[in-house]
Amino acid sequence: MRGVLTVSLDRAYELHPQVALRPEPFGALAYHYGNRRLVFLRKPEVVAVVRGLSGHATLADALRAAKVEERRWPSFLKALSGLETSEIVRERASG
């Protein structure tokens, strides 16, 4: 399943309510209290986007707000798809 994109730019996402993020020198650790999964977020910029997700109507807005250049969006989509698969982030009703 590696590399499959499950998130899209025009939908809204949020940090899963059962997930805690802990800042670390390399980025952050995410822990899911439900499935007990521990995930390493190794890019501080991805951490910033994840933290901002719930405040924006679409993923594209969240990327723009975090000042991620558009040419780099594909790598962020990949990273966020991975995080959605491990239930660290999830889709929410937009608006």
Partner 1 sequence: MSERLVDQLKGGLDAPICLTWELTYACNLSCVHCLSSSGRRDPRELTTAEAKAVLDELRELQVFYINIGGGEPTIRRDFFELVEYSVANGIGVKFSTNGVAIDAPTARRLASMDYLDVQISLDGLDAATNDAVRGEGSYAMARRAMDHLAEAGFGPFKISIVVTRHNVDQLDGFKTLADSYGAQLRVTRLRPSGRGAETWHELHPTNDQQRQIYRWLLGQGEQVLTGDSFFHLNALGEPLPGLNLCGAGRVVCLIDPIGDVYACPFVIHDQFKAGSVRDPGGFARVWRHSELFSSLREPTSAGACASCGSYDACQGGCMAAKFFVGLPLDGPDPECVGGSADTALAAVDRTAVPRPSMDHTRPVTLLRRKPARI
Q: Which residues bind partner 1 (CB under 8 A)?
A: 20, 22-27, 29, 31, 33, 36, 38, 40, 42-43
**Is the CB of 33 or the CB of 55 nearer to partner 1?**
33
DSSP 54-90: GGSSSHHHHHHHTT--GGGHHHHHHHHHHHHHTTSEE
**Is the CB of 15 or the CB of 56 nearer to partner 1?**
15
**Is the CB of 2 or the CB of 36 nearer to partner 1?**
36
Contacts of 23 (CB under 8 A, 6+ apart): 47
State in angstroms the smallest separation of the CB of 34 from partner 1.
9
